């Protein structure tokens, strides 16, 4: 089963929907990383180390990271 990490701007309703479909979704709040202004690079590192796929609405920043960072998990954009 896929394991996701939702950053703090991803809609909580979508998290609940994914969970209702059986997906393992960890939120930045649950990980103790919400409201700390953690840079996207660190979000990506955290998700990669946890073996999770980033889900976000912050598309362009993560698209840019995808092209400048070689060691990361999948990034899913809405």
d(CA 15, CA 41): 22
**What is the average pLDDT value for the chain, to the nearest integer?**
84
The confidence score (pLDDT) of residue 24 equals 98
The confidence score (pLDDT) of residue 48 equals 86
Taking residues 41-64, report their average pLDDT: 83
Roughly how many angstroms between the first and final C-alpha of the chain, as a whole number? 20
The confidence score (pLDDT) of residue 60 equals 66
DSSP β-ladder status, 75-77 and 53-56: parallel
DSSP β-ladder status, 3-6 and 75-77: unpaired
Q: What are phi and psi of 41, to 5 degrees?
A: -60, -40
d(CA 62, CA 76): 9
Predicted confidence (pLDDT) per residue in 1-30, tens digit: 789 999 888 999 999 999 999 999 999 999
Taking residues 33-49, report their average pLDDT: 85
């Amino acid at each position: 089963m896929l394991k996701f990490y939702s950053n703090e701007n991803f809609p909580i309703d979508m998290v609940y929907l994914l969970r209702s479909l059986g997906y393992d979704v960890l939120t930045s709040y649950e990980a103790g990383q919400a409201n700390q202004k953690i840079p996207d690079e660190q979000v990506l590192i955290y998700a990669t180390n946890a073996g999770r796929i980033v889900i976000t609405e912050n598309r362009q920043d993560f698209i840019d990271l995808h092209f400048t960072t070689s060691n990361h998990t999948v990034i899913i954009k809405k």
